[in-house]
Each structure stands twice: as structure tokens, then as C-alpha cells.
Structure 1
């Protein structure tokens, strides 16, 4: 299939433009993506690589920003990034492959591999429940002193396992959904038990070597990896050196690195017949229809699955984020299009970027994000906006002040900065929201109206 044929698949000619050539539409849409990434570089500090491909033909690829700001080094042709929770795609595949080889069964309980669990609440957790985040295990924050202490420590594998087994289950296994990276650590450890090899060796044997994914592998905080970009964290409007986080507790859940090229090979292999169809059908079947990690999509094994009435938009994907990494990789299974976004800056809204890029690729109406200018307000002026606000649907938004910067946080989502455009109107950069505060006659704040993605939501300040 030549590039023009691929392009016809990817950039579909719109009915409203019957007289325009495919090449014209291609250029308009690639130019629009170029403009969009330039705006996002200025607006949210996007720094990384974006790739769009039809089958194995790359249609669009661009790196924005720097691989190293300290050394003023641009990105290489195929930079290496940490991919955080995209790791779960690979762990899930390895587990299902092991089941196909009769090395394990998805219904196996943990006490088969960890007899020391005895008859504890943990003992009857199944492999399937770990895969679908229904084991009752909490996320990393369930580990005592995780962010203050444990996440920094270069724990041995035994020590990391012991830390996880100290966790208190949040629910009876199989009854509720709770996103849990420790669950995928356990899956990776079970793979090591049954194969008598390290997780990295199993990954190489089953996936990366056969697919020639030469720039994908397991890392730890001490490794020097050829081609790896420098990691950064965005704090308000400036970049800082990435806070330290050891990878000991991230085995199987967030400890891989890769490139956009390797992830394209992976997307094509997993969707193109390289693996047994019985295996891939399990990965992409809806295994959990409940919200996972706050998302509305269903969940397979290691993948989020978006299913809509428009089959062209069916999208299988996983996002990832950790210090020095914001990433998303997915595949439109019917349109046969891959989209990969990898960044070496943490807490960027790459999910929203993917949604915007999708609109451009498929020819939807698209409104370019607006670069807005903020005004300076003193800490004493910002203090009155602090508080907890409740919407009609029961959702709560906390607004708080640190120094002279106002922040907002909803539920378990990451907090984000709010910037004033006048004395009572604020906007977000990482989250495309405008908040207009309402005042009583005595100038006290009583609530606000939030405009987000074309929707207006009213919040009332809690007493």
C-alpha cells in the first residue's frame, strides 16, 4: 500500500469539499496539527513527540521542544521516553500469552503463587481481577508514607513485594473497581515465578525481540539508557528538574521506556495478526465496564476501550504519567490508525491533546486553543477564592492557594493552576476551563460558573 492510499485511509475526504484534492486536504490538516502543537507548546508547555500512522506508514511526525534544556539539545530522530502506565499493555499481553501456554489460568488465585498469604483476604484474589483492577487493591498511595518516603527507596524485589502485601484491601475482591498499579506489579512477579526469568527477559523473549522493538525495555532509576531524553516536571509556568522516584514498585505497571517508532510496531503487531487472535480478542474484549481510574471508557486487559456508534472512532489506548513522563498510545481499530504522544514533562494533558488531534485527523470542527494573557494578583486578593465548591450533580471542586498561585482539584484528578484574566475570571492552561466567580453584595464569593468543552456547570461554595 503506497503513501497516497494510506493517506486516503487516514485523512478522509469530507463530503463538504468534493472538488478539493486529497493532497490539499492532507496539507491543510497536517498544517493544522503543526499549528496546534505550536500553540500547545506555548499554552501548556508541551515538549515531546507526536506520531500519526496508517498501518505501518507514518503520515505525521513532529518533535516539539528539547530533549535536554540544560544542554540545549533538540530531540533526535527517534527519542527514547519513559512510558509509565503504557507498560500495562505489555504486562497484560504477557499474562494472556502465559495462559495460552498453560503456564497459568486467569482464574488462578494468589495463594497458588504466594502460599504465605494463607487464608487472608488476599488469598482468593484472581489473576483476572488484577488485570481488570477489581482485586480490591488500592493504587500506590495506599502504601504507607508512599510519597514522603517509600517511593524514593531502591527496594529489592522482595522488599517491594512485602510493601505491597501490607496494603489493606479497599473492597472484597471482585466486587468493585479500584485502579491499582500494585496489582500489575504482582502480575509481573507471577510471570517471573512461572518462567523462572526476570520480567525484562520475558518481555524481550515474547515481544520486543520478535518485533524488533530495539529501543523498548525495562529501566530503573539508576540506568543510563542510550537516547533517553532528560525528564522534567512542570510547576506552574516553569520547568523544574524531575523529583526523584524509584522504579522498584513500578515493575510491570510503569517501568518501561520506548519510542514512537517502537510503539507503532507494537500497535501494528497486536492489531495485525502477529499474535494469536484468541489472545488479542481477550485483550480487546470488554472485561470491566465500570469506570477505571475515573475514565468513562470500558476496560479490557491493560487497555481502555472506547466503543461508540461511529465504529471508525472505536479506540483502544492506554495513557501514562509519572515524574518526567506524560504519554498516550492508541489504535483506531477500524480506521487502522495509530496515534502516539510521548513527552518528557510530567502532568501534561496528553489525553486532551489526543482528542484534539483526533478531531483534526477525522475532519471534525476544531477550535484552536486560545493563548490568553493573565494579570497579576496579590496573594491577599486570591485568598477569598479558596474553598470547596459543589455542582448540581454532586461533584466537588477544591480551590486552594499556594504562595501567590491559585489551584483547583476535582476528586482524584491531578490539581491544576488557575490564572486570573480579570478580578473574578480565571482560566486553566493544562485544563481548558474558564471559571467566573460570583459574589454577594458584601463581595464574598458564593459560587462560580465553569465553562469546560462547551458546557456550563454551576458550583456553589460550601459553607
Structure 2
């Protein structure tokens, strides 16, 4: 149905084929602009509202393009007991969206000459000086090809040979940033947030805000609050560098805008970040390319994204560089009894929709 609507919206483009080249370009651009508005009214609102209603979504989502809001919705509660409502200032645990921040911090250290991503990690961290780990490189931690085993000792595969998603690897990257910078991960992250213009983002150790959307499992009628949030995100079991950053929907739009438009990294560093250097068979989204803490579509449309999950807090961040469109979904409750596939149904359906829109206008 989405594709049928897109086709009907684009029919006028073909009517201009008999006009002069200048007229064609002008009218085509005008039609594309009006088509985007039509997407906002007929697709984004109708379709996303339907997805959220069907899945009883509790959280916040917005879609921005070139700084202009195309869609925004906050639904449900920060605190299910007091019934305090989610709003645009609500702070969420963003899970593995944190990995892109850690990857950028590593690349910033490289820009300052404090490391090279092809260096062996053993040059910096004593844990990697054991023979089994001594050849693992920083790049292999960044793109999950180190072979590190999250749930045991030893390696799952020879370094550089296979993709094995590793939270442990990103925890070590956080320690690496601390080692070469001489500052805590919290301090480095705080400086990065400021550079990106992020006003309400933090780490668990630094967070002092009052708008934290406490994490829950279950559903709105039968819920259980996750204890010691957000402090537990700083534990080694999770680690801030792998999955512990706190942020808001507006701040993540600011992050996307600053990062992908060259205000954080130098062009060559940004290219390393975005370039496919491994591949991932995502358990929910399927086969994807993988860069440094970021995934990308294997085919059109061009999109950079990542899912995130810490107990009770599913998230998704998508950026479409060709139209400078940013899509953020944050939530603070998950019914784990239904499995991860069910938890991420709203996120998957929204990405399918925004991919379709992007394919039609980019």
C-alpha cells in the first residue's frame, strides 16, 4: 500500500517531459517538494500513528529533514506508577546507540595522533597482551571482527575473519579512550555532547536530571520497573561505552546533524566511520553492512542506523544522508516475554516506511 501511494504521488513528474530543460528542472523540484509534504501528511502521520496504536507504543519518535520537523509524537509515561507523561525532554537509556559515540571518540583520538585504528590493542591495554589476543586491532573492535566472546573466555573466531557482535569489545574501546586521552570516558563523552550541541545527554555517573524515563518490562497494565536505573548502566556488565549513554530524541537529531554534516570529525575520519568494513546478519533487520559502531543498508536507500537495547529500553536511530533525514525512536518499556522480534516491531515497521519514502525521493 505504501508503494502504491508513493507511485500516485510521483505521477505528475512524468507530465513535464515535453517542456524545456529549465522548466523541467524547476517543475520537477517543485513537485518533489510538494511530494515530501504529501509524505508528511499522508504517510508519516497516518502510517506511524497506525503502527503505534496497533503496538501500544510507549515512547517518543520524531522525523526531521534538513532541520525541519516532519513528524513528532510522544506517547505514554516516563513513570508508570505516578503517570508522569513522556515529552520531548524525556531522557532515555539508548543502549547500543552508544556505540557510535564511542567509535567517534576513538576516531577523535586518532585525529589527535594518540593512536591509529590499525594499531594492535595490546599496545595500549594489558588485557590484550596474552598471546591469544595480542594481534587484535582497534579496527577489529570497532567493526566487531575481533572474535571476542561476550559470554566466556577465549575467541569465537580468528581476529579479522568473522563478524561476532561484541559488547565487550566496545567496553575495551571505552577503556582505550580513557588510556590515551588521560580523561575518564564520562569526561570525553561530555565534551562530545557539547561539540554536537546536545543539551540533555549524559552518562549514568554524571546524570542529575529529573526527566529520566525509567525502564520497565511487561506492558502498561502489568509492568515491573528495572531497579537502579540509570546507575546500573555504568556497571562493567553493560558499560557506558557499549550501551550506557542517556539521551533525548531532540539531542539525537542534533547528533545526526552534526556528525553527518562534518562538524564532529574530519572528512577522512567520517569516511572511515561510515564505510562498510564488515557485514552483520541482524537478528531483526536482516543482512546489513557494518562500519564503526553503525550499520548501513546493503542496497538503496543509503541509510546509516543502529538499534539499541538495554533491559526495558528499545531504541532506533536512522540517518538518510541524501535527504538529510533523521529518524529517532526511543522507548522505556519492553515485553520481553514476547521476544526481541515483537519488541522491535514498531521500529522495524517505521524503518520500512521511511526506507520506502527515501527510495522514492532521493
- Listed as ranges, the matches of 1:30-49 within 5 Å are 30-33=44-47, 35-40=49-54, 43=55, 45-49=56-60
Superposed displacement of residue 93, structure 1: 0.7
Superposed displacement of residue 329, structure 1: 0.3
Could you give the per-residue CA deviations for residues 416-438 of structure 1, whole angstroms, max 9, x where no partner exists? xxxxxxxxxxxxxxxxxxxxxxx
Partner residue, 2:353:
357
* Matched position secondary structure for 1:252: helix
Superposed displacement of residue 233, structure 1: 1.0
Q: 2:277 aligns with which of 267, 273, 287?
A: 287
The answer (yes or no) to whether the contact 1:88–1:254 under 8 Å persists in 2 is: yes
* Matched position secondary structure for 1:330: strand
Q: 1:31 to 1:118 in 2, by over 3 A?
A: closer
Q: Which runs of 5+ in 2 are unaligned?
A: 1-5, 16-30, 335-339
Could you give the per-residue CA deviations for residues 49-90 of structure 1, whole angstroms, max 9, x where no partner exists? 111010222211101111211011111232111100000000
Does residue 262 (structure 1) correspond to residue 258 (structure 2)? The answer is no
Q: 1:116 to 1:94 in 2, by over 3 A?
A: closer
Q: 1:298 aligns with which of 283, 289, 294?
A: 289
The answer (yes or no) to whether the contact 1:33–1:360 under 8 Å persists in 2 is: no
Q: 1:229 to 1:115 in 2, by over 3 A?
A: closer
The answer (yes or no) to whether the contact 1:84–1:327 under 8 Å persists in 2 is: yes
The answer (yes or no) to whether the contact 1:284–1:303 under 8 Å persists in 2 is: yes
Q: 1:85 aligns with which of 96, 108, 113?
A: 96
TM-score (norm 2): 0.80
Higher strand share: 1
Q: 2:148 aligns with which of 113, 117, 137?
A: 137
TM-score (norm 1): 0.64
Give the Cα–Cα distance (whole angstroms) in 2 for the partners of residues 357 and 300 of structure 1.
23
Give the Cα–Cα distance (whole angstroms) in 2 for the partners of residues 114 and 333 of structure 1.
36
Superposed displacement of residue 271, structure 1: 1.2
Larger-Rg structure:
1
The answer (yes or no) to whether the contact 2:88–2:250 under 8 Å persists in 1 is: no
Q: 1:318 to 1:12 in 2, by over 3 A?
A: farther
Partner residue, 1:231:
215
Higher helix share: 2
* Matched position secondary structure for 2:210: coil
Q: Which runs of 5+ in 1 are unaligned?
A: 1-10, 144-166, 365-463
Does residue 209 (structure 1) correspond to residue 194 (structure 2)? The answer is yes
The answer (yes or no) to whether the contact 2:88–2:248 under 8 Å persists in 1 is: no
Give the Cα–Cα distance (whole angstroms) in 1 for the partners of residues 7 and 202 of structure 2.
35
Give the Cα–Cα distance (whole angstroms) in 2 for the partners of residues 113 and 236 of structure 1.
47
Q: Which has the higher contact order (CA 8 A, sep 6+)?
A: 2
- Listed as ranges, the matches of 1:88-103 within 5 Å are 88-103=99-114
